[in-house]
Chain A
Amino acid sequence: MFQQIIDRRLAGKNKSIGNRERFLRRHKEQIREAVKRAVDGRGIRDLAQGEDIHIPKRDIAEPVFGHGQGGKREMVHPGNQDYVRGDRIERPKGGGGGGGGGQATDSGEGDDDFVFHLTKEEFMQVFFDDLALPNLARTTLAETPEFKTHRAGYSSGGTPNNLHVVRSMRGAIGRRIAIGSESRRELLALEERLTALKRESGDHTEEIERLEAEAAALRARLGRIPYLDPIDLRYRSRVRIPVPTAKAVMFCLMDVSGSMDESRKDLAKRFFILLYLFLTRHYERIDIVFIRHHTQAQEVDEQNFFHSTETGGTVVSSALVLMEEVARARYPTSEWNIYGAQASDGDNWHHDSGRCRELLANNILPLCRYFAYVQVAEEEQNLWDEYTALSAEVRNFAIRKATSASQIYPVFRELFKKEGAAA
Chain B
Amino acid sequence: MSSHPVPRPSGAADAGGADGPRRTMRASDIRPPARASEPLPSPSDWSFDLIERYHERIRETATRFGLDTYPNQLEIITAEQMMDAYASVGMPVNYRHWSYGKEFISTEKNYRRGHMGLAYEIVINSNPCISYLMEENTMGMQALVIAHAAYGHNSFFKGNYLFRMWTDASSIIDYLVYAKNYITECEDRHGLDAVEQLLDSCHALMNHGVDRYRRPSRKSLAQELADRKDREAYAQQQVNDMWRTLPNSKAEKAAEESAQTKRFPEEPQENLLYFIEKNAPLLEPWQREVVRIVRKVAQYFYPQRQTQVMNEGWATFWHHHLLNTMYDDGHLSDGMMIEWLKSHTNVVYQPRVGDRGYTGINPYALGFAMYTDIKRMCEQPTDEDRHWFPGVAGRDWLETLDHAMRNFKDESFVGQYLSPNLMREFRLFSIVDDEKQEKLEVSAIHDEAGYRRVREALSHQYDLGGREPNIQVWSVNRRGDRSLTLRHTQHNDRPLHDGAQEVLKHVVRLWGFGVHLESVNAAGETTKRWSVPAVATP
Contacts and interface: CB of A to CB of B under 8 A. Distances in A.
A22 B105 CA distance: 12
A76 interface: yes
Interface stretch (B27-35, B163-171, B330-338, B437-445): B437-445
B429 A80 contact: yes
A268 B444 CA distance: 74
Given A9-B135, A99-B359, A116-B105, A65 B442 contact: no
Nearest to A79: B352
A71 B492 contact: yes
A72 B76 contact: no
Interface centre among B73, B431, B447, B506, by most chain A C-beta atoms within 10 angstroms, is B431
Interface stretch (A11-19, A37-45, A166-174): A11-19
Nearest to A13: B80
A8 B77 contact: yes
B445 A80 contact: yes
Contact of B495 (A60, A67, A89, A103): A67
Given A5-B76, A71-B495, A73-B492, A79 B101 contact: no
Given A62-B99, A64-B503, A68-B498, A75 B431 contact: yes
Interface residues of B, number: 103
A145 B444 CA distance: 88
Interface string B491-524: 1111111111011001000000000000000000
A94 interface: no
B207 A77 contact: no
B196 A22 contact: yes
A63 B203 CA distance: 9
B353 interface: yes
Nearest to B486: A65
B322 interface: no
Interface of B is mostly: mixed
B109 A117 contact: yes
A118 to B, nearest CB: 10
A20 to B, nearest CB: 4
A4 B101 contact: no
Interface centre among B2, B96, B103, by most chain A C-beta atoms within 10 angstroms, is B96
Interface string A306-317: 000000000000
B468 interface: yes
Category for how many chain A residues contact B: 35 or more
A25 B187 CA distance: 14
Contacts of B427: 78-81
A349 to B, nearest CB: 56
Contact of B81 (A2, A15, A22, A26): A15
Interface in A67-100: 67-81, 83-91, 96-100
Nearest to B87: A16
A103 to B, nearest CB: 7
Contact of B102 (A78, A104, A114, A117): A114
A5 B428 contact: no
A63 to B, nearest CB: 4
Nearest to A67: B494
A19 B454 contact: no
A258 to B, nearest CB: 49
A3 B56 contact: yes
Contacts of B492: 71-73
Given A13-B78, A66-B499, A72 B433 contact: yes
Contacts of B97: 19, 22
A87 B440 CA distance: 8
Given A16-B88, A25-B192, A101-B359, A62 B353 contact: no
B65 to A, nearest CB: 17
A203 interface: no
A34 B243 CA distance: 48
B442 A87 contact: yes
A24 B495 CA distance: 35
B112 to A, nearest CB: 9
Contacts of A144: none
Nearest to A22: B98
B163 to A, nearest CB: 22
A13 to B, nearest CB: 6
B534 interface: no
Given A16-B83, A65-B496, A85 B431 contact: no
Interface in B443-494: 443-447, 449-450, 454, 457-458, 460-461, 467-469, 471, 488, 490-494
24 contacts: A5-B52, A5-B75, A7-B76, A8-B132, A9-B76, A24-B101, A64-B207, A65-B469, A65-B488, A65-B496, A65-B500, A66-B499, A67-B496, A68-B496, A71-B491, A71-B492, A74-B430, A79-B350, A79-B351, A85-B442, A85-B449, A89-B431, A91-B438, A99-B353
Given A5-B74, A65-B208, A70-B435, 10 more contacts: A3-B59, A8-B75, A13-B84, A63-B500, A66-B496, A67-B494, A68-B497, A72-B435, A72-B493, A88-B441
